[in-house]
Amino acid sequence: MTRGKRWLKFNLVGAMGMALQLSTLAVLNHITPGHYLVASALAVEMAILHNFTWHIHYTWSDRQQAHAWRQLLRFHLSNGAVSLVGNLLLMRILVEAAHAPVVFANLSAIALCSIANFLLGDSWAFAATPRKGASTPLTTPPVSLSSAPRATKPG
């Protein structure tokens, strides 16, 4: 699959995850006003789990997957870390310093973190692994013993 097509799939999944994240944030922010950082962290985690499921079955479905728990750990360490840390830092800056509305600030944070998330997902969290039973190409063709020239005894 081309990187451009994968980028489009990534963004489609990201748009669904963003809708989930923003709606979760809006509900949590309404229920517990003033705790936007906790609400943001919970909303981001919901989106991370959602996006992981879609990425493994849709965006990077053509790549052999490692064990699901290992892959989820890699996804959390890469995309999760960027999303959580990036969102929380940017939320604090945009809400407290710039006085932006919570949902708008979160939308901005999501957009800023998406490129790093795609690159980390493509190169590490969902990196291509050799398929079981697939042979790796040899740099030189193997020599068959039956077709090798036979040494002759000097006469």
Enter the tokens of residue 12: 């489609």
Q: CB count, 10 Å around CB of 67?
A: 8
CA distance 28 to 69: 28
Reported pTM: 0.72
In 3D space, the residue among 74, 153, 82 whose CA is nearest the CA of residue 114 turns out to be: 82
Enter the tokens of residue 76: 């959390």
pLDDT at residue number 48: 92
Rounded average pLDDT per 10-residue block, the chain, 155 residues: 94 95 93 90 93 94 81 91 89 93 89 91 83 47 48 56
Which run of H or E residues covers position 23? helix 3-31
- Sketch the domain layout of the chain as residue ranges: 3-125
In 3D space, the residue among 43, 52, 39, 53 whose CA is nearest the CA of residue 19 turns out to be: 43
pLDDT at residue number 143: 44
pLDDT at residue number 93: 95
CA distance 77 to 45: 12
Buried b (16+ CB within 10 A) or exposed e, 5-29: ebeebbeebbeebbebbbebbeebb
